[in-house]
Amino acid sequence: MAPENKRLRIAIIGGGLAGAILVNALMKYPHIDVHIYESAPKFSERGAAVGLAKNSQNALDEIGHSVKDALVRAGAVPMNSTRGTVASGPNAGQIIFDLVADVPPRGVHRAAFLKQLLAPVPKEVMHNNKKLVKVEDAGDGGVVLFFKDGSEEYADLLVGADGVHGHVREHILGADHPALEPTFAGFWDCRTLLPLSKAKEVLGEEYFKEHRRYIWSGDGGMFMHDVLDNGTMVQCVASKVTDEDWDPKEWKRDLDREALENAFASWTNSPIVKNMIELLLQNPELQAFAQWDHHVDAPTFHRGRVCMVGDAAHAMTPYHGAGAGQAIEDVMILETLLGEVKKPSQLDAAVKAYDEVRRPRAQLVVQSSNSTGRIMCGQGPDVGLDVDKLRAALGSRWDFLHEFNQKEHKKRALRSFRKN
C-alpha cells in the first residue's frame, strides 16, 4: 500500500518501443518511481523499421529530448518524399503521387531505436523474464501484479504495453469480450533488411539518388522500400491481400521463391516485382507475418488503475505507417497527465482523461489504415489500379493523421483531467 505522500509506483508491462518510450518519459518526474517488466529473456523488437511522420515527431518533441535524441542516435533517416507508383497492369510505371512533407518522415530500425531508448534507463528498473499472468486489486486503489515465476509486485498504476496478444487487454476488457482478440486483417507481409549496395545492384541506382520511400501498388498486393541506418541499409517489404484464414495462434509462415512468385503471379508489365522478390529472398529466414488489427473497437482503454497503450490498445495494419506513431501519441498524453498527478487518488482522473482523448483518435486510425491498405493493394472499391482514381483516393488520405495539433491534444487531456 502506497501512502498519499510517497512516490507513485508505475509498472509498465512490455519492453518494446511503447514501453521504452514511456519509461524514458516518466523518468524525468521525481514523484514517480517507474519500473518496466518484459516477459522475454531480453528487451527486443520484431520487424525491420518504423516510419515516424510529422505527428509522431511532434509528439516526441512534446515528450522531450530523451526520446527525440534517441531517434537521432539510432540512425533515423529523413525521407525527402514518398512516391507511389502503379506496378501492375496496363498502367504499370505510372506515378500515383509524390508526397513531400514540410517535416520529412524519418525511418528508423526498430532494434536500433529500442537500444537507444533503453540506454539511459537504470538497470534496477528493468526486469526481464517477467511474464504477467494475473492482476488483482490491492484494496487501496492500487493493483498487485502476479508473474509466472511466482513473484508479485505492487503498483499504483499498471500500464500495459504488452502488445496485441498481451495479458493487460484481457484484464481490462474481460476474457469473453468481443473486442478482446485482434481480427485477421486480410493481409500478410514479409520483409528483409540488406546493405544499400546490394539494393542498388538489384533495383538500380536511380531509386537511391535521394532518400525517398517507394510504394508499388499492384494486383492484390504492394511492395515498399526505404533507407535506414544513416543511409547504409535498405528495408524491402511485400504485402499481400489474402482470402485465407489465419489461426489467431499462427503468427507467421515460411516463405520461399515459389510462394512469393505465386503470390505476385498476376502482376503483368511490372517493372519491379522480379527484382523485389530477389531482394526479399536475401533474407535466409524469410517469413510471411499475418497482419492483425483491433477492428472491433474496445469500449475503454482502462479499468480502475490499469490502462493500455500501443498495440495492446489499438493494433493496426501498417498502411498508414502509424502504429508506432500512435503509441508515441499515447505516451505523450499519458506522461503529461501523470506529470500532474501528485497522489494516488488522482490517478483515476488521469486514466479516465487518457481514455477520453486517445481512444477515439487511435481507433479512427485503425479503421482508416485497413481501408487504405485495400486501396494501396489495388482493391479499393471502384478504384482498382486506375491511376486517376488512386490519386483521388490516396492523395489526402494521411492529412487527418499527420496534420494534427499535439499541443491542443495535450490541453484537451489536461482539461478533462481537471474536470474529473
Residues annotated as part of the active site? 191
User: What phi and psi, each to the nearest 5 degrees, are found at residue 235?
Assistant: -100, 130
CB 365 within 8 A of CB 315: no
In 3D, which of 327, 328, 354, 324 has the Cα closest to residue 339?
354
Query: How many other CB atoms sit within 10 Å of the CB of residue 366?
Result: 23
Distance of CA 369 to the CA centre of its chain: 12
CB 36 within 8 A of CB 127: yes
What span, in angstroms and rounded, lies between the C-alpha atoms of 216 and 49?
A: 18
What span, in angstroms and rounded, lies between the C-alpha atoms of 264 and 274?
A: 9
* CA separation, residue 323 to residues 12, 118, 136, 231, 330 (Å): 19, 20, 29, 23, 11
Three-class SS state of 153? strand
What span, in angstroms and rounded, lies between the C-alpha atoms of 246 and 267?
A: 24
Q: For residue 33, give the H/E element and its range.
A: strand 32-37
CB 58 within 8 A of CB 189: no
* CA separation, residue 70 to residues 17, 53, 117 (Å): 12, 16, 6
Cell numbers that stand for 230 in this block: 544513416
Three-class SS state of 158? strand
What span, in angstroms and rounded, lies between the C-alpha atoms of 215 and 204?
A: 16
